[in-house]
Amino acid sequence: MRLYDFALKNLKGNLYRYVMYYLSNVFTIAVFYIFLNFLFHPRLRSGPLAPSATVHSGAMSGIFICLVIIIIFTVLFIGYATSMFIKSRGKEFGLLSLFGMTNKQIRKYILTEGIIISLVSIISGVLAGMLFSKLFFMAMEAFMDISLPFNVSLTATLLTVIIFLGLFQVVNLLAASKIRNKEIVDNLKTERVPKKMPRYSRIKAALGVILLGLGYITAWIVDGALVIFAMIPVVLIVVLGTYFIFTQFSIVLANKLANNKGLFYNKTNMVAFSQMIFKLKDTAKVLFLSSILGAITFTATETIYSFFTEIPNISGISDMPQDIAILQKGENLYDDESINEAIRILEDEGISIEEFYKVKLINVTNETDKDSEGNGTYILAISNSDYNMLARSAGREMVTVNENEVIYNYPFTTNLFDEVTDIERVYPYEVMELNLNGETKNFKVKGETHGSVTTLIMNYSDLVVLNDNDYKKLMDNATEKDIRIFNGINVDNWKRSYKGSLEIADMLGMKYKNSFYSKVIPYRQMRSFYGFTLFLGFFIAFLFFLATGSIIYFKLFNEIKQDGVEYGILKKIGITKKEMNSMITKQIAVIFFLPFIVSTLHSLFALKSLANLLNAILIKNGLIVMVGYFIFQGIYFLIIRRIFINRICSATGTGVFASI
Amino acid sequence: MFILETKGLSKIYGSKGKGVTVKALDDFSMNVKEGEFVGVMGPSGSGKTTLLNILATIDSPTSGEVLINGKNPHRLDEDELALFRRKNLGFIFQDFNLLDTLSVKENIILPLVLEGKGQKEIEKKAMDMAKILNIEEILNKRTYEISGGQQQRTACARALINDPSIILADEPTGNLDSKASMDLMEALETINEKRRATIVMVTHDAFAASFCNRIVMIKDGKFYLELVKSSSRQVFFKEILDGLSLIGGGYNETI
């Protein structure tokens, strides 16, 4: 029998042991493949990916970041799974070397076995990836509004196979070299050495709390642009703090709990707590890693989700006073037919019109404010009474303009990131010389208002408010080409007006190019872009979520034999199923939810920082994301708990005195 | 009044109808009175372990019945059995079966804690037990810090702490050196005499068995011989050795 046969036979015989390891390999490879297959999709490179170039480049950079994250994830995860797997078989290798297998042969054996498993994993992984590619493409189609027909990319397939073949061999080699350095006795005893009582250092535990507190306080109070400078030190402090919290403080806390006799001597608590101390010690580093990973996931998801919900604010859509606007000018000036048609289309769609404004504006030249070529700039004149009517509807301040005076209306409330204050003036001049068809008149600028009352239509945005009498005089002088009729429509729920708006745009046609605006159209465009990002974010988050879960799973099940022995003893003494379940639940719950709580806390403070930066309140978003994760984590916990209990039950099912 | 009665116990391993069946116990009956210290001896494969498993309510007999305090535990369901064991039985194992994650004291009080007893009662009983078994100094040590003899005495304390109706011991000296064996058996004797604890012990060791009041020998699943201590331990030891040579099979090395 050659070594190869031996490895293969052993693999066949112990198939159940390899299942978990195999499945996690398949999962990782499938994810990697799906993503590569998407990346190499022919439509993605030649065809138009999204409506505009900015969206395209944004999406591509998003995809690139995802790729990097997935690669890091893959390497870490496969590495971890393999080393855990090899470690869990210490006894087997110990026996082999006891029977005279040389280290070289053992390494060869591990590598042979590794090659077999990796080949099987890669084949199944790629096949699974192909199957689920369609699902992924469908999700992408929905989010990005493009068609992605099913496609299997040869490049992606080859790349996946080569990358994973290499990765598995490197990881296996590393794991095999670890085995060599151990004494046979240690290997044989890996499962039986009684664990020493965990030690801890009070100073380090306190340091952990202090560092964490320091990081949190900084994240909470630092405001505005300082957030960016504070970010890296705060992250470092918090990561270090978390490390000490898990490796030191958790054990201090568990010991404190164990010293509380009232609590400790309460039925199942004694066993549950004391085992927990050991479990915490053993899993501290894993818990630390998974809570940091979790914090990153939470924060990323919350950030993306916040952008998603804040689209109307960020894009300025929420500043628009009317939901739908149509501007009539030139040949369309008397085309009331189209306006009535538009209203009818909306009503046919089941959208009720709440307000409808028709306001005449006059296009005049402001000779005071000259452009670079020395010509005056265009500005739209509105009568004081019309302005107040629109202002009231838009919830803006109403004004009174005397004769020979004007008030300048700047259509934005914010200038890039800063709020426009009342003291700061956008229009710097004291006078405004208005020119209409060669007739000029000087007006005194009484003041200015910020925030538009007419929904922006392309270039026509700045308004000048005139006294009704001055406006009338101006109107007498105006010709058809100077007059603009602004139609503003407010509907009951503008988010539902997408279909109607597209229909109106169709109906109005080229004549109204640049003269029709409906909030919902840019909103939908933004949404599809952020929706795509959100989807990618969730995809990555899902990966991380599964990864952290699996790492904890590996760790738990690696020691299930030891746990089985302990529960076997308890069973002999006489514990009911319910009591055993309660002990197991308490332990697993701590392992599962401790990182969750820490990640949640971290991400809440990170979110507070983000809120400080963006000047927005994002706690609600954070909580929504958190509840979502909590539900997932809860389901995962219940499943793992069930499996664990079943495994323990079968491990302890033997008779009391059968040990002889 | 018998604490433990078994009537016509049989245990057949292997599926009926097809294949090989093994009769591990064959119409075996024995009674144990309160305060008795009974040893069960017999060659390998004689059915000692099967008997102990059935008495421990871990295994159920194919036919016959077991009465502990007049009750038949084999009629209970799994959880009721667990509680029955906890309240009525104490166990001492060859390989101690202490929990590594608990200290000596915590191991001892485990049955009481699981019962939800008050803290004061727990502390008091733990101190009593420790005094009887002479393990007061090691109460706060961990299991890996103490010797095998100390571990087994800890296990004794755990078995005894909830005043069980009967203590079942399976080769308690099997993993101990002669000095530790001596200490342990003396401790069991003390428990038996001073606290009137009823003990059923399975053993190969004639020296350990000489501490009992009565020895029941099994061969091939059947009752073979009964020896009752009448005079000193030394005399009883001789009688046991004679009995063992009579029963034969695998005992030569212990003589």
Q: Where are the domains of chain A?
A: 1-193, 195-316+522-660, 321-518
CB contact under 8 A, A660 and B171: yes
On chain A, the residues whose CB falls within 8 A of the CB of B59 are 655
On chain A, the residues whose CB falls within 8 A of the CB of B119 are 261-262, 265
B66 inside domain: no
Residue B124's nearest CA partner among B103, B134, B109 is B109
Nearest by CB to B49, from A270, A576, A657: name it: A657
Residue A270's nearest CA partner among B110, B189, B75 is B110
On chain B, the residues whose CB falls within 8 A of the CB of A656 are 52-53, 56, 58, 91, 93, 170
Mean pLDDT score of chain B: 85
Which DSSP string do the residues of chain B spell out, in sequence order? Answer: -EEEEEEEEEEEES-SSSS--EEEEEEEEEEEETT-EEEEE--TTSSHHHHHHHHTTSS--SEEEEEETTB-GGGS-HHHHHHHHHHHEEEE-TT----TTSBHHHHHHHHHHHHT--HHHHHHHHHHHHHHHT-GGGTTSBGGGS-HHHHHHHHHHHHHTT--SEEEEESTTTTS-HHHHHHHHHHHHHHHHHS---EEEE-S-HHHHTTSSEEEEEETTEEEEEEE--S-HHHHHHHHHHHHHHH-SS-GGG-
Cα torsion for B238, B243, B246, B247, to the nearest 10°? -140
Q: Which of A74-78, A410-414, B156-160 has the lowest mean pLDDT?
A: A410-414
> Which residues have a Cβ under 8 Å from the Cβ of B216 and sit 6 or more positions away?
B30, B38, B39, B40, B41, B223, B225, B226
Pairing of strands A439-450, A431-436: antiparallel
Joined together, the tokens standing for residue A477 give 């002088």
CB contact under 8 A, B101 and A271: yes
Q: Please state, in angstroms and rounded to a whole number, the distance separating the CA atoms of residues A300 and A536.
A: 11
Q: Please state, in angstroms and rounded to a whole number, the distance separating the CA atoms of residues A527 and A521.
A: 10
Q: Which alpha helices (DSSP H) does A193-328 contain, by range?
A: 202-221, 226-244, 250-259, 261-264, 269-309, 311-314
* Selected residue of B13, B114, B144, B171 to mutate for chain A interface (largest A Cβ count, 10 A): B114
Q: Please state, in angstroms and rounded to a whole number, the distance separating the CA atoms of residues A151 and A156.
A: 11
B22 inside domain: no
Which pLDDT score, from 0 to 100, does residue B216 have? 92
Terminal-residue alpha carbon distance, chain B:
36
Using the Cβ of A259 and the Cβ atoms of chain B, whether some distance falls under 8 Å is answered with no
Using the Cβ of A189 and the Cβ atoms of chain B, whether some distance falls under 8 Å is answered with no
Which DSSP string do the residues of A364-402 spell out, in sequence order? Answer: EEEEEEE-TTSPEEEEEEEEHHHHHHHHHHHT-------
A605, pLDDT greater than 90: no
**Across A509-533, average pLDDT:** 76
Nearest CA in chain A to B161: A573
Strand partners, B215: B39, B227
Residues in chain A: 660
Which pLDDT score, from 0 to 100, does residue A128 have? 92
> Which residues have a Cβ under 8 Å from the Cβ of A213 and sit 6 or more positions away?
A241
Residue B46's nearest CA partner among B231, B235, B253, B248 is B248
A124, pLDDT greater than 90: yes
Q: How many CB atoms lie within 10 A of CB A195?
A: 16
Q: How many CB pairs under 8 A join A and B?
A: 111
Nearest by CB to A194, from B56, B87, B144: name it: B144
Q: How many CB atoms lie within 10 A of CB A602?
A: 26
User: pLDDT class for A523, splitting at 50, 70, 90?
Assistant: confident
**Across A305-312, average pLDDT:** 71
Q: Which alpha helices (DSSP H) does A145-201 contain, by range?
A: 154-180, 184-189
Q: Please state, in angstroms and rounded to a whole number, the distance separating the CA atoms of residues A272 and A583.
A: 5
CB contact under 8 A, B53 and A270: no
Residue A434's nearest CA partner among A396, A402, A475 is A475
Q: Is the alpha carbon torsion for B244, B245, B248, B250 positive or negative?
A: positive
CB contact under 8 A, A577 and B171: no
On chain A, the residues whose CB falls within 8 A of the CB of B85 are 572-574
**Across A369-373, average pLDDT:** 75
Q: How many domains does the structure of chain B reveal?
A: 1
Nearest CA in chain A to B78: A576
**To which H or E segment does residue A561 belong?**
helix A560-573
Highest averaged pLDDT of the listed ranges A96-100, A206-210, B22-26: A206-210
- A404-416 pLDDT, tens digit per residue, is 888 888 777 655 4
Using the Cβ of A660 and the Cβ atoms of chain B, whether some distance falls under 8 Å is answered with yes
Q: Please state, in angstroms and rounded to a whole number, the distance separating the CA atoms of residues A460 and A516.
A: 12
**Judged by CB atoms within 8 Å, which residues 640-659 of A form the interface with B?**
655-659
Residue with the larger pLDDT of the pair B160 and A458: B160
CA distance B24 to chain A (A): 14
Task: Report the predicted TM-score, pTM, of the whole model to 2 decimal places.
Answer: 0.69
CB contact under 8 A, B114 and A268: yes
**Across A313-330, average pLDDT:** 75
Q: How many CB atoms lie within 10 A of CB A233?
A: 12
Q: Please state, in angstroms and rounded to a whole number, the distance separating the CA atoms of residues A355 and A567.
A: 72
B19 inside domain: no
Amino acid A220 reads: W
Q: Please state, in angstroms and rounded to a whole number, the distance separating the CA atoms of residues A559 and A596.
A: 22
Residue B169's nearest CA partner among B112, B89, B240 is B89
SS3 A484: strand
Nearest CA in chain A to B169: A657
Query: Residue B85's domain spans which residues?
Result: 34-60+72-254
Q: How many CB atoms lie within 10 A of CB A202?
A: 10
- CATH number for the domain spanning B52: value is 3.40.50.300
Phi-psi region of A455 (alpha: psi -120 to 50; beta: other; left: phi over 0): beta
A88, pLDDT greater than 80: no
A130, pLDDT greater than 80: yes
Exposed / middle / buried, residue A101 (Cβ in 10 Å: 0-12, 13-18, 19+) = middle
B205 inside domain: yes
B179 inside domain: yes
B142, pLDDT greater than 90: no
CA distance A559 to chain B (A): 14
A538, pLDDT greater than 90: no
Q: Please state, in angstroms and rounded to a whole number, the distance separating the CA atoms of residues A523 and A320.
A: 12
Nearest by CB to A270, from B82, B106, B144: name it: B106
A640, pLDDT greater than 50: yes
CA distance A596 to chain B (A): 26
Interface of B with A (CB under 8 A): 49, 52-53, 56, 58-59, 78-79, 81-87, 89, 91, 93-95, 97-102, 106, 109-111, 113-116, 119, 122, 142-144, 158, 170-171, 174, 202
Q: Which of A49-58, A198-207, A535-544 has the lowest mean pLDDT?
A: A49-58
CA distance readout (Å), A615 to A225, A311, A317: 11, 14, 18
Strand partners, A381: A362, A464
- A328-348 pLDDT, tens digit per residue, is 887 777 788 888 888 888 888
Nearest CA in chain B to A278: B101
Which pLDDT score, from 0 to 100, does residue A656 have? 43
CA distance B119 to chain A (A): 7
Nearest CA in chain B to A575: B82
Q: Please state, in angstroms and rounded to a whole number, the distance separating the CA atoms of residues A274 and B73.
A: 32
Residue A345's nearest CA partner among A513, A490, A503 is A503
Residue with the larger pLDDT of the pair A631 and B21: A631
> Which residues have a Cβ under 8 Å from the Cβ of B134 and sit 6 or more positions away?
B153, B183, B187
**Across A205-213, average pLDDT:** 90
CB contact under 8 A, B101 and A268: no
CA distance readout (Å), A209 to A203, A222, A246, B150: 10, 20, 10, 41
**Across A465-483, average pLDDT:** 85
Nearest CA in chain B to A259: B106
A180, pLDDT greater than 70: no
A558, pLDDT greater than 80: no
Residues A638 and A319: beta-carbon distance below 8 Å? no
Which pLDDT score, from 0 to 100, does residue B87 have? 85
On chain B, the residues whose CB falls within 8 A of the CB of A574 are 81-87, 89, 111, 114
CB contact under 8 A, B59 and A655: yes
Exposed / middle / buried, residue A13 (Cβ in 10 Å: 0-12, 13-18, 19+) = exposed
* Selected residue of B40, B99, B125 to mutate for chain A interface (largest A Cβ count, 10 A): B99
Which pLDDT score, from 0 to 100, does residue B97 have? 85
CB contact under 8 A, B114 and A579: yes
- Inter-residue long-range contacts of B232-236, CB under 8 Å, 24+ positions, other chains counted: B234/B210, B236/B210
Residue A524's nearest CA partner among A498, A506, A501 is A498
Q: Please state, in angstroms and rounded to a whole number, the distance separating the CA atoms of residues A583 and A290.
A: 23
CA distance readout (Å), A542 to A70, A165, A300, A628: 11, 25, 12, 12
- A48-72 pLDDT, tens digit per residue, is 444 444 555 555 666 677 777 777 7
